[in-house]
Amino acid sequence: MAATFFYAVRYWVEAQCRTPLRTGGADGDVEAVLTDSDGHPFAQGSSLAGAMRSWIEGKNQLGLTEALFGSQKQAGHLMVSDARFSPETERSLRPRLRIDGATGSAAQGGKFDVAQVNAGSRFSFELTWLGDKQSSPELAAVEQSLSAMNQGIICLGAQKSNGFGRVSLSVGKYVYDMAQEQDRKAWLDDKICGKPLNLPEVKNVDRVIFTLTGRADSLLVKAAAAKRKDGRTVTQNLEENGRAVLPGSSIKGVVRARAELIVRSTGRPEELVEDLFGRGAKGDDQGKPGRIRFEDVYMGAAQKQRISRIRINRFTGGVMRGGLFQEEPLCSEVTLEISAPADQPTGCALLLYTLRDLALGLYNLGSGGSIGRGYLQVSQIAVKTPSGGTAALNFGSENGSTISDPDGVFAAWMQAWKEGAE
């Protein structure tokens, strides 16, 4: 970075997590939250800069990307600080389960926990730009990326495809003109001031939105640990911030398993699933990020049902000693929101097939599918494309399921699916 500059622009960003945020890596069997020397959560500035850089670069703005974030030939004009959370920030563990794509059930040794910063947590960070033109296109790119972050187009941290990392921003901006003595003094004094910035609207032009609406009469995503009530062990649904939640990762796991089954049974290449859902890193393989995004589903008005069950001794066929326990599945309206890349019509067709199978009761969400839990009564699967095209599958009418495709969205996907088999 040049030692001499004529303008400096500083952005003070106050952020709030709309969804949980993961900032750390694996620590034994638990994927931990990154903490500083005082034990407080934080997110590295390099992670924030990487998310912004990837989005700007994806808009075919390589020149701006290198100018802002640097390259091997030049230093960047933008500095990004670490994101600091308040000391009272709440953290929690979310149970996870790997699904065996061949069987559709839990993989052997597939149970693990991930640590997260809870939704509602607040943090702050700063962006500082140094340059020679106040109206630089670089500043427009910075402000557009902040807007994309505020709109949920740019997500932070890990597990973005599972609904993590959505934030809301409040931004202040101050321009330092080094030709002005008061601005030079404010810069040297590290004066925090400036005016609120109205972030420009950014259109998300590359995603198709799937919205599934229905009802679950018995849904249970088991919390990390059962609770004791009235002297008995009660397994409850996962809750965060006092609300029952159906994690996006749980939805993604079963949808992916169904997609793998469909691909195998129809002779499509398995790479189709990896292109959509991603894959983990193994050895020298750095993995591939998923391009489908699944949102957490919060069920604030859910009704709890207390159901008693018993554990059976597999050898005697009788009741195990101390085997009486209780579960509290939920009855709730459910709305699933999933987004997929618009440039993959074959992948969109595959996702539509998986959601149709969910609506037909061919697989379930959460645990207890063998005893009738997690099956949805789906009323509609609606689709909206970036260009404004719409389509829908409707269920439960007197005529059975019906298709509404006025803009030919489904027709185009089915044609792509057919051509992919040839």
Element of type H or E holding 345: helix 345-359
133 found inside a domain: yes
Determine how β-strand 83-85 pairs with β-strand 26-27: unpaired
Residue 126 in contact with residue 99, Cβ under 8 Å? Answer: no
Do 267 and 364 reside in the same domain of the chain?
Answer: yes
State the residue range of the domain holding 281.
Answer: 207-420
Which amino acid, residue 33? Answer: V
- Check residue 202 and give its pLDDT: 85
CA–CA distance, 275 with 291 (Å, rounded to integer): 7
The H-assigned helical ranges of 60-116 are: 62-69
- Check residue 12 and give its pLDDT: 92
Q: How far is CA 150 from CA 16, 33, 165, in A?
A: 10, 22, 11
Do 153 and 291 reside in the same domain of the chain?
Answer: no
pTM, whole model, 2 decimals? 0.79
Q: How many CB atoms lie within 10 A of CB 230?
A: 7
What's the burial of 338, exposed, middle or buried (CB within 10 Å: 0-12/13-18/19+)?
buried
CA–CA distance, 363 with 349 (Å, rounded to integer): 18
CA–CA distance, 6 with 113 (Å, rounded to integer): 50
Closest by alpha carbon to 9, among 146, 123, 122?
146
User: Which of 196, 231, 246 delimits the end of a domain?
Assistant: 196
Phi and psi, residue 260, nearest 5°:
-65, -40
38 found inside a domain: yes
CA–CA distance, 78 with 137 (Å, rounded to integer): 13
- Check residue 231 and give its pLDDT: 57
DSSP state for residue 303 in the 8-state scheme = E
Do 21 and 72 reside in the same domain of the chain?
Answer: yes
- Check residue 273 and give its pLDDT: 92
The H-assigned helical ranges of 1-128 are: 45-58, 62-69
Q: How many domains does the chain have?
A: 2
Rg of the chain taking only CA atoms, in angstroms: 25
- Check residue 28 and give its pLDDT: 47
- Check residue 2 and give its pLDDT: 47
Do 100 and 240 reside in the same domain of the chain?
Answer: no
CA–CA distance, 355 with 350 (Å, rounded to integer): 9
CA–CA distance, 250 with 97 (Å, rounded to integer): 8
What's the burial of 159, exposed, middle or buried (CB within 10 Å: 0-12/13-18/19+)?
buried
Do 181 and 223 reside in the same domain of the chain?
Answer: no
Do 170 and 307 reside in the same domain of the chain?
Answer: no
Do 258 and 373 reside in the same domain of the chain?
Answer: yes
Do 177 and 225 reside in the same domain of the chain?
Answer: no
Which amino acid, residue 264? Answer: R
3-state DSSP assignment of residue 29: coil
Do 121 and 150 reside in the same domain of the chain?
Answer: yes
User: Which of 139, 167, 196 delimits the end of a domain?
Assistant: 196
User: Which of 137, 167, 196 delimits the end of a domain?
Assistant: 196
* Tens digits of pLDDT across the chain (422 residues): 445 678 889 999 999 999 889 887 655 455 678 888 888 888 999 999 999 999 998 877 778 888 899 888 888 899 999 999 988 888 887 776 666 655 555 566 666 677 888 888 999 999 999 988 776 889 999 999 999 999 988 999 888 888 888 999 999 998 888 888 888 888 888 776 678 888 888 877 789 999 999 999 888 887 766 566 665 667 777 887 778 888 888 899 899 999 999 999 998 988 899 989 988 767 677 777 888 999 888 887 777 777 777 777 777 777 776 667 778 888 889 999 999 999 999 999 999 999 999 999 999 998 888 888 889 999 999 999 998 999 999 998 666 789 999 999 999 999 999 987 65
